[in-house]
Amino acid sequence: MATVLPARVDTDALEQKVKAMYRDVALNPRGEFHFEMGRALTERLGYTSAELDAIPSEAIDSFAGVGYYFDLAALQAGEVVVDFGSGSGTDSFVAAGKVGAGGAVIGIDMTDEQLAKAERLRAAAGFAQVSYRKGYIDATGLSEACCDAVISNGVINLAPNKAKVFREAARLLRPGGRLAIADIVTDIQLPEGISCDATLWAACIGGAMQVDDYTAAIEAAGLSVMQLRENSAYRFISQNAQGAARKFGVKSVSILAIKT
């Protein structure tokens, strides 16, 4: 099972490439990307008007997620949620609406500009139950069994070691807690020509894992996969990305897994 990066990829260079891309996503959301962003995308993926109207529109402008999973997450008032790769904050803000003032949402991201934008919007809109922290999703520094749900949208495919990310999610979840995510996976394992291309990796394609390996990595971390569905409304927009998507069955899925 290929849960780690091919040996030829320089992980430091990859991290810089990912940070540069998502700095642009935060600062220049109307620029040209391999992927779609913004409100029209969120609506097509299944976010409701009520969810979107209640959160800062500038966060939605920089939304770079790949699917909807809040129905699977079934967040309840008062719950504690950790958002892996919170970006400009869309999903953390949506989660905040569901857990309410008595709950808490902690967004983790490694890109300074994404964190700064999310924090600026959080402070202006008064989401007291949300906090954003700089960190890595495979080593958050949060304490064991600290949350009811880990959520993530379009992020884990970017991580060099996905098994480590799922182990970290399992560590943070209390028994019975939920991992509810949307992410990019593939039907066929990607050849190294694609998985070693840092630009395609940063565009959420090159790092995508074969779907059965992906769910096996979740299970190996001590979580039980309860649901997996394809998000057919998600599509890449550059020709290059669309070609790879067709050839290797690169697709978005939403997944619910429970900590047993």
Ligand X SMILES: C[S@@+](CC[C@H](N)C(=O)[O-])C[C@H]1O[C@@H](n2cnc3c(N)ncnc32)[C@H](O)[C@@H]1O
Q: Which residues bind ligand X (CB under 6 A)?
A: 18, 22, 63-65, 85-88, 90-91, 108-111, 114, 136-137, 153-155, 158-159, 204
Residue 175: CB minimum distance to ligand X, A = 25
Q: 10 Å Cβ neighbour count for 144?
A: 9
Residue 202: CB minimum distance to ligand X, A = 9
**Residue corresponding to tokens 């979840």:** 173
Give Cα 46 distance to the centre of its chain. 16
Q: 10 Å Cβ neighbour count for 162?
A: 27
Strands, E assignment, 76-153: 80-84, 104-109, 130-134, 147-153
Distance CA 85, CA 80 (A): 16
Which CB sits closer to ligand X, 11 or 224? 11
Which CB sits closer to ligand X, 85 or 177? 85
Q: Which residue is nearest to ligand X (CB)?
A: 87
Residue 174: CB minimum distance to ligand X, A = 22
78 DSSP 8-state letter = T
Distance CA 203, CA 256 (A): 24
Which CB sits closer to ligand X, 81 or 155? 155
Residue 26: CB minimum distance to ligand X, A = 7
Which CB sits closer to ligand X, 65 or 177? 65
Which CB sits closer to ligand X, 53 or 224? 53
Residue 153: CB minimum distance to ligand X, A = 4
CA distances (Å), 19 to each of 26, 28, 109, 149, 158, in order? 10, 14, 10, 25, 11
Torsion sign over Cα 233, 234, 236, 237: positive
Which CB sits closer to ligand X, 3 or 88? 88
Residue 204: CB minimum distance to ligand X, A = 6
